């Protein structure tokens, strides 16, 4: 995992840009916070690696005439029906003295800069030796319809998942060409990950003008959104019509941005796929609860591992370490039964409210339309490497999540025999970390007269992962982006479902309402009515999802009851 940028690889795109030159990261449908030691992902990771390392340049691509950004001119690729600009710097490299500081503007340039290859991914635990990673990773990518210059098209900005420790905007499943072909300017961005993106440490608190550290990855996302607001018009996009959307850690990011006072005005709508701002993450793993004292203890442990503990200037030691050394020092097992050092967003009182429940209760979530939901088997893939899942281990799992109320949890999510345990854990994660957080967010918005729509993905395609784990975490990505690969794993039903999903998503980006001609009606939530659009073999409206179990999770939440409208 080099700490300097590698030479960009050429782009491969059979009909549009397809992830070439990208770092080899875990697949986007890897579980939220998944470890590099998850063997169940190995086959899919290998497939993505082969795609990412392809280097053929298709004959129909050419350099596009420069467009002028606030930092300088860039050229991109002219592709059939669209233009693609890849690896555009939106912030200065966060290296040296800028490591663990808020993002700064990129240095300006005067000559046209070729933006025809994805930038490297941010440092992370390596999946393959071919992976390209660098601290100089704060880049984004733009796909825009060819006829869009001078237009005011809706903009969709994607935040990738990966448990805040893995992933990159260049992963093939995030290719934005099909969305662009539907008249939407599509942006995907990188942000700092793991210890380089979310370290909390007393010495960093001391040098911060706000007195807090951490959340640098969230600040990167805000910088990317600010870049979009300043520059997207030259690509034909409307800076006043931006939809922020993401999945897994990207969905949690979207949900947290809805709570951040620093992101107000940077986007107009939000779509959160499998991850909310509060309530649920601790049911996935206790280390995801955003607790600042816990994060500070983890930061001190990382400093100890890097030899900075007790040093006269611990930050000098930490900043002198290579990115690879920092990432390796933070390496841990993040399975469902692990409670180790881990780095993710914290409720710091500056970038995020110190008490998110109270913030939601008082209406401080941004007043924008929201779509939010999850898949039917969110927890299944997390269990792929677990052995000997019996009722005793299930009891341990429940105690770590529900404390003294674990017996009530066992009654709500029963496992009467050892064979029932995987399904019970799957349901705890599905409902606790996803279904109830989505309902919580939708209720909060609807109770204040704001529009919110709930969805659920239950369609099981013919992929190897879906045959094993059902409608698993991340199964929705192929349908949202229209990248149904490998093609033989998807049939005509999948293609039609993807068309409908993309119509709902782009309608929402365009107007703030997912409904449109030729689509089954999808009513918004309102007090006392929380319908859910279930994307199974075809879109089908359901009255509610797992109400008894969702109510139980809401009832034992650590957030105040008044935060649950």
Please tell me what DSSP assigns to residue 233.
Answer: G
Which of 287, 279, 544, 288 has the alpha carbon at shortest distance from 436?
Answer: 279
Provide Rg for the chain, Cα atoms: 22
Do 187 and 144 contact (CB within 8 A), yes or no?
A: no
Task: Spell out where 336-467 has E strands.
Answer: 370-375, 452-457
- Classify residue 392 as exposed, middle or buried by CB count within 10 Å of its CB (0-12, 13-18, 19+): exposed
**Beta-carbon neighbour count of residue 278 at 10 Å?**
28
Is residue 26 a part of any domain in this protein?
no
Please tell me what DSSP assigns to residue 66.
Answer: P
Do 454 and 531 contact (CB within 8 A), yes or no?
A: yes
- Give the per-residue pLDDT at 362: 78
Q: How far apart are the first and last CA of the chain?
A: 46
Is residue 139 a part of any domain in this protein?
yes
Beta bridge partners of 542: 532
Query: For this structure, is 35 an active site residue?
Result: no
**405 phi and psi, to 5 degrees?**
-100, 20
Is residue 98 a part of any domain in this protein?
yes
Query: For this structure, is 160 an active site residue?
Result: no
Where does 374-435 have alpha helices with state H? 391-402, 406-412, 421-430
Residue in the block written with tokens 């969230």:
218
DSSP string, 452-464: EEEEEE----SSH
- Give the per-residue pLDDT at 32: 30
Is residue 28 a part of any domain in this protein?
no
**265 phi and psi, to 5 degrees?**
85, -5
Is residue 453 a part of any domain in this protein?
yes
Strands 185-189 and 237-247 come out as unpaired
- Give the per-residue pLDDT at 278: 62
Which of 154, 157, 162, 158 has the alpha carbon at shortest distance from 34?
Answer: 162
Structure tokens at 399: 């105690």
- C-alpha span between 255 and 253 (Å, rounded): 5
- C-alpha span between 518 and 500 (Å, rounded): 9
- C-alpha span between 467 and 487 (Å, rounded): 15
- Classify residue 418 as exposed, middle or buried by CB count within 10 Å of its CB (0-12, 13-18, 19+): middle
**Beta-carbon neighbour count of residue 543 at 10 Å?**
9
The enclosing H or E element of 497 equals helix 492-511
Query: For this structure, is 473 an active site residue?
Result: yes
Strands 77-79 and 82-89 come out as antiparallel
- Give the per-residue pLDDT at 288: 62
**Beta-carbon neighbour count of residue 385 at 10 Å?**
16
Look up the CATH number of the domain holding residue 79: 3.40.50.1820
Catalytic residue among 473, 498, 530, 557: 473
Question: pLDDT by residue for the chain (565 residues), tens digit each?
Answer: 333 333 233 233 333 344 333 333 333 333 333 333 333 333 333 333 333 433 333 334 667 789 999 999 999 999 999 999 999 999 999 999 999 999 999 999 999 999 999 999 999 987 554 468 999 999 999 999 997 666 799 999 999 999 899 999 999 999 999 999 999 999 999 999 999 999 999 999 999 999 999 999 999 999 999 999 999 999 999 999 999 999 999 999 999 999 999 999 999 999 999 987 765 555 655 556 788 888 999 999 999 999 999 899 999 999 999 999 999 999 876 566 655 668 999 999 999 998 887 788 778 899 999 999 999 999 998 887 788 899 999 999 999 888 899 999 999 999 999 999 999 999 999 999 899 989 988 988 898 999 999 999 999 999 999 999 999 999 999 999 999 999 999 999 999 999 999 999 999 999 999 999 999 999 999 998 999 999 999 999 999 999 999 999 988 876 544 444 4
Angle in degrees, CA 509, 511, 515, rounded to 5: 90
Catalytic residue among 71, 248, 285, 557: 248
Please tell me what DSSP assigns to residue 369.
Answer: -
Q: Structural domain of residue 288, as residue ranges?
A: 39-385+392-563
**Beta-carbon neighbour count of residue 553 at 10 Å?**
26
Is residue 4 a part of any domain in this protein?
no
Catalytic residue among 173, 282, 378, 530: 378
- Give the per-residue pLDDT at 327: 95
Task: Look at the alpha carbons of 404, 405, 408, 410 in this order and tell me if their dihedral is positive or negative.
Answer: negative
- Give the per-residue pLDDT at 65: 81
- Give the per-residue pLDDT at 131: 60
SS3 212: coil
Please tell me what DSSP assigns to residue 263.
Answer: G
Is residue 373 a part of any domain in this protein?
yes
Spatial strand order of the sheet with 113-114 comes to: 67-68, 73-75, 113-114
Instruction: Based on DSSP, count helices (H) and strands (E) in the chain, helices before strands.
Output: 19, 15
Which of 228, 235, 108 has the alpha carbon at shortest distance from 159?
Answer: 228
**Interhelix angle for 216-231 vs 249-259, to 10°?**
80
Is residue 465 a part of any domain in this protein?
yes
SS3 217: helix
Do 197 and 191 contact (CB within 8 A), yes or no?
A: yes
Do 41 and 28 contact (CB within 8 A), yes or no?
A: no
The number of distinct structural domains making up the chain is: 1
């Amino acid at each position: 995992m080099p700490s300097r940028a590698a030479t960009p690889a050429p782009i491969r795109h059979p009909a549009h840009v397809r992830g070439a030159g990208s770092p080899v990261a875990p697949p986007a449908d890897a579980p939220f916070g998944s470890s590099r030691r998850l063997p169940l992902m190995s086959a899919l990771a290998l497939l993505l690696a082969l795609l990412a390392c392809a280097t053929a340049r298709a004959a129909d691509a050419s350099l596009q005439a420069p467009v002028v950004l606030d930092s300088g001119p860039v050229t991109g690729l002219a592709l059939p029906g669209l233009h693609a600009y890849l690896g555009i710097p939106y912030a200065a490299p966060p290296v040296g003295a800028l490591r663990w500081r808020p993002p700064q503007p990129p240095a300006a340039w005067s000559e046209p800069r070729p933006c025809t290859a994805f930038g490297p991914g941010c440092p992370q635990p390596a999946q393959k030796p071919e992976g390209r990673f660098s601290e100089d990773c704060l880049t984004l990518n733009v796909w825009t319809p060819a006829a869009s210059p001078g237009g005011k098209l809706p903009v969709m900005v994607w935040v990738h998942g990966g448990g805040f420790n893995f992933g990159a905007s260049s992963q093939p499943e995030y290719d934005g060409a099909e969305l662009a072909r539907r008249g939407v300017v599509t942006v995907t961005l990188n942000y700092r990950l793991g210890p380089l993106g979310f370290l909390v440490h007393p010495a960093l608190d001391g040098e911060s003008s706000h007195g807090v550290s951490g959340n640098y990855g969230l600040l990167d996302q805000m910088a990317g959104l600010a870049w979009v607001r300043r520059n997207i018009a030259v690509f034909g996009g409307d800076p006043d019509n931006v939809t922020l959307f993401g999945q897994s850690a990207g969905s949690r990011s979207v949900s947290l941005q809805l709570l951040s006072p620093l992101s107000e005005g940077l986007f107009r709508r939000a779509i959160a796929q499998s991850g909310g701002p509060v309530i649920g993450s601790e049911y996935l793993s206790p280390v995801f609860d955003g607790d600042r004292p816990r994060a500070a203890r983890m930061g001190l442990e990382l400093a100890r591992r890097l030899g900075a503990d007790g040093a006269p200037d611990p930050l000098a030691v930490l900043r002198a370490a290579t990115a690879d050394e920092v990432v390796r020092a933070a390496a841990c097992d993040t399975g469902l039964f692990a409670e180790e050092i881990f780095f993710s967003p914290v409720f710091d009182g500056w970038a995020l409210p110190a008490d998110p429940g109270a913030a939601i209760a008082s209406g401080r979530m941004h007043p924008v339309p929201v779509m939010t939901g999850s898949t039917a088997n969110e927890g299944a893939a997390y269990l792929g490497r677990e052995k000997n899942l019996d009722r005793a281990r299930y009891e341990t799992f429940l105690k770590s999540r529900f404390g003294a109320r674990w017996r009530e949890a066992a009654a709500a999510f029963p496992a009467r025999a050892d064979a029932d345990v995987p399904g019970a854990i799957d349901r705890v994660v599905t409902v606790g970390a996803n279904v109830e957080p989505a309902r919580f967010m939708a209720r909060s918005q609807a109770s204040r007269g704001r529009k919110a729509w709930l969805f659920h993905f239950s369609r099981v395609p013919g992929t190897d992962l879906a045959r094993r784990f059902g409608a698993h975490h991340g199964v929705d990505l192929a349908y949202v982006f229209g990248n149904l690969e490998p093609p033989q794993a998807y049939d005509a039903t999948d293609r039609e479902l993807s068309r409908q999903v993309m119509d709902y998503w782009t309608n929402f980006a365009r107007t703030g309402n997912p409904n449109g001609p030729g689509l089954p009606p999808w009513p918004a939530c309102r007090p006392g009515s929380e319908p859910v659009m279930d994307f199974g073999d075809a879109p089908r409206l359901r009255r509610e999802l797992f109400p008894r179990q969702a109510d139980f999770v809401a009832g034992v939440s650590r957030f105040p009851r008044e935060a649950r409208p």
